[in-house]
Amino acid sequence: MKTVNDFNFEDKKALIRVDFNVPLDEEQNVTDATRIEAAKPTIMKVLEDGGSAVLMSHLGRPKGAEEKFSLRHIVDTVSNIIGVEVKFVDNCVGETVEQAVAELQNGEVLLLENLRFHSEEKAGDKEFAAQLAKNGDIYVNDAFGTAHRAHASTAIIADHFPNNKCFGLLLAKEIESLEKVLGNSEKPVTAVLGGSKVSSKITVIENILDKIDHLIIGGGMSFTFIKALGGKIGNSICEDDKQDLALSILKQAEEKGVKIHLPVDVVAADDFSNTANTQVVDIKNIPDGWEGLDAGPKTNVGFSYVIAQSKTILWNGPVGVFEMPKFAKGTIELGNAIADATADGAFSLVGGGDSVAAVKQFGFQDKVSYVSTGGGAMLEMLEGKTLPGIAAILSE
């Protein structure tokens, strides 16, 4: 696996696909710069070698060139983070861009305008990719968030750099972390899956069953299993048409020697609200009119026990409606258990949109081994798919 560390960028222009799809407030200020910070090590490696960096990214979902999605709004933030005054050009292909690239000196950084101002980007257009390819000598992909897309800048462009393409340090770390969990991981391996729906995680479950020893199923998706097993779940969230599938997953797990852990008790509420009345009940006996919104105390102890025995842990999805403080306890206790296991030497990987939000909200990001930056891309890797952005770099 070639990374920027395998190249010397002296006198070279690195064309780096980054993921600067950051949230902006109404005044177009960056409200969370995590993604920009995550790209810094790759950019610094290029500059420290004595090269220059041409950065390309998308931002939001513009329909054509919409000013509010201009990457111009993030120039100051990028400059502050990497400590170099970043230049900006208001397109990503064409003569003005080529000229700006030609004028770029070693040690300088140029940010191109939003790739998605051109519909050819998402269409994976070959001609557009050829034009983008004129903007650098070595192509670097450091955008994990879009690695599952076969877009012009994430995959198609790589054909123009048969010997001069590599992974950025962030993307390389993402791949290595997932390998650590799904490859030759230290046993026992435990996966914790939560969140609202079984349907969105079926392929993940089926793919990882061969690689894990324990599967903890929590949150909203557990009710489909509990109901399929004959439990009374009241008003709890449930995908009725997925009950057979839930039973089939339990059977497959048994055949493969994977121990499944479901919640045993639950914090039930009489309304989907932080001011609802609550009671702790047996998960198989939720009263009519009540819904399970968080893991109960016995469940938390049980899940923590399994995690404490684990040497490798993958966490995707909260075990309760953590956005409401009244139903956040299960997710916090789970995070604490994973943090403790990590402190004791386990490798822990957290990924997928909502678990990352939970990890940040409760301050666990420095207490787990790795927090993945790409929700959709990570899920597709867990599903066992080959991501176009990764395959494009690996292909000869």
Q: Which entry of 311, 353, 360, 384 is annotated as an active-site residue?
A: 353
CA dihedral of residues 191, 193, 198, 199 (deg, nearest 10): -70
Q: Which entry of 12, 13, 17, 35 is annotated as an active-site residue?
A: 35
Smallest separation (angstroms) from ligand AMP to the CB of 193: 9
Binder of ligand AMP out of 51, 318, 335, 389 (CB under 6 A): 318
Compute the distance between CA of residue 158 and CA of residue 92 in angstroms, rounded to an integer: 16
Smallest separation (angstroms) from ligand AMP to the CB of 200: 5
Distances from the Cα of 231 to the Cα of 226, 291, 362, angstroms: 5, 13, 32
Compute the distance between CA of residue 69 and CA of residue 169 in angstroms, rounded to an integer: 26
Give 372's DSSP letter. -
With contact defined as beta carbons under 8 Å apart, do 382 and 374 qualify?
no
Which string of x and - marks every residue 231-250 that binds ligand AMP (by CB under 6 A)?
A: ------x-------------
With CA atoms as reference, report the closest residue to 258 among 223, 302, 207, 315: 207
Binder of ligand AMP out of 4, 109, 293, 332 (CB under 6 A): 293
Asked if residue 274 binds ligand AMP (CB under 6 A), the reply is no
Using the minimum distance from each CB to ligand AMP, give the nearer residue, 62 or 220. 220
Compute the distance between CA of residue 345 and CA of residue 313 in angstroms, rounded to an integer: 11
Using the minimum distance from each CB to ligand AMP, give the nearer residue, 47 or 208. 208
**Tokens for 61?**
């979902």
Using the minimum distance from each CB to ligand AMP, give the nearer residue, 132 or 293. 293
376 is known as an active-site residue: yes
Instruction: Give the residue ranges of DSSP H helices in 209-352.
Output: 222-228, 243-255, 297-308, 329-343
Using the minimum distance from each CB to ligand AMP, give the nearer residue, 44 or 324. 324
Q: Scanning residues 180 to 199, which ones bind ligand AMP (CB under 6 A)?
A: 194-197
With contact defined as beta carbons under 8 Å apart, do 43 and 109 qualify?
yes
Give 320's DSSP letter. S
Which string of x and - marks every residue 202-221 that binds ligand AMP (by CB under 6 A)?
A: -----------------xx-
Which string of x and - marks every residue 49-68 that binds ligand AMP (by CB under 6 A)?
A: --------------------
With CA atoms as reference, report the closest residue to 97 among 66, 118, 76, 81: 118
Across the beta sheet with 265-269, the strand order is: 278-282, 265-269, 291-295
Binder of ligand AMP out of 38, 354, 372, 373 (CB under 6 A): 354
Using the minimum distance from each CB to ligand AMP, give the nearer residue, 30 or 337. 337
Q: Which entry of 284, 367, 376, 384 is annotated as an active-site residue?
A: 376
With CA atoms as reference, report the closest residue to 152 among 175, 129, 130, 176: 129
Asked if residue 321 binds ligand AMP (CB under 6 A), the reply is yes
Residues that bind ligand AMP (rule: CB under 6 A) add up to a total of 17
With contact defined as beta carbons under 8 Å apart, do 229 and 217 qualify?
no
> Hey, which residues are catalytic here?
35, 197, 353, 376
What is the binding site for ligand AMP (CB under 6 A)? 194-197, 200, 219-220, 237, 292-293, 317-318, 320-321, 323, 352, 354
